[in-house]
């Protein structure tokens, strides 16, 4: 596999290669809903596909298919059979195969969204798989989550503080949570998001559009937020 910083922006067929955007974050933070929102916002102007990851099921893929956000054949599921980060970080072969199969079948594609299975705060995508990555936390997980850090929170291309509409019900100050996130990220962008807030969804879609422009121009360089923290598998 070539070094990710020198990867061509064209598919091996000679067609322009799709932008590959990874979406990671803990279980229940709303990753699938973010994918659905992006598909609804962008599918009319971009040719898109989705790859979901989960340990034992294809539930996230079935959710997106049932939501009708893309043609069902453009949504593929990878069952990792192990900790979710194994397939987005340690050995990305299954995901790369799924992405490349989609590009072969339905290309040229503009954007492929790759959703990680729910993992912990240290989960990150390998730059060999994702050109850029979002990391998602949510207000229901607690207002102090952003302060806990981890490479996903501190180094992902965009950090999303999701489900802001729930903040009054869980007694979280969204502005303070966003300020904590901004302090942790040293200038990298933070977006407070609710799928019920069209303005925040539009801001996310605009961020993706701008990223795609940089990708097509060859000026976006994938960066690595950092490896998983040391851990053991029982």
Q: Which parts are annotated binding residues?
A: 25-32
Dihedral sign of CA atoms 60, 63, 69, 73 in order? positive
Buried b (16+ CB within 10 A) or exposed e, 39-62: bbbbeeebbbbbbbbbeeebebbe
Extract the annotated binding site for GTP: 25-32
Dihedral sign of CA atoms 34, 193, 19, 1 in order? negative
Separation between Cα atoms, residue 156 and residue 132, nearest integer Å: 8
DSSP letters, 89-106, are II--HHHHHHHHHHHHHH
Backbone angles phi, psi at 215, to 5 degrees: -60, -45
Please name the helix (run of DSSP H) or strand (run of DSSP E) that holds residue 49, with its range, or none: strand 48-54
């Amino acid at each position: 596999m070539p070094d990710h910083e020198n990867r061509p922006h064209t598919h091996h067929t000679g067609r322009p290669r799709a932008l590959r955007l990874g979406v990671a974050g803990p279980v229940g933070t709303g990753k699938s809903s973010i994918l659905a929102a992006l598909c609804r916002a962008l599918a009319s102007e971009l040719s898109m596909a989705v790859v979901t990851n989960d340990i034992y099921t294809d539930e996230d893929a079935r959710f997106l298919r049932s939501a009708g956000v893309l043609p069902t054949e453009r949504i593929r599921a990878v069952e990792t059979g192990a900790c979710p980060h194994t397939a987005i970080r340690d050995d990305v072969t299954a995901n790369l195969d799924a992405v490349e199969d989609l590009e072969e079948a339905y290309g040229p594609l503009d954007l492929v969204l790759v959703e990680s299975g729910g993992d912990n705060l240290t989960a990150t995508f390998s730059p060999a798989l994702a050109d850029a990555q979002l990391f998602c936390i949510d207000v229901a997980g607690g207002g102090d989550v952003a302060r806990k850090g981890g490479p996903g929170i501190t180094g992902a291309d965009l950090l999303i503080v999701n489900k802001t509409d729930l903040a009054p019900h869980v007694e979280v100050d969204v502005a303070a949570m966003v300020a904590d996130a901004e302090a942790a990220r040293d200038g990298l962008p933070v977006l407070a998001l609710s799928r019920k807030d069209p303005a925040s969804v539009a801001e996310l879609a605009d961020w993706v559009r701008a990223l795609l422009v940089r990708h097509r121009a060859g000026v976006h360089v994938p960066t690595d937020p950092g490896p998983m923290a040391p851990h053991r598998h029982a």
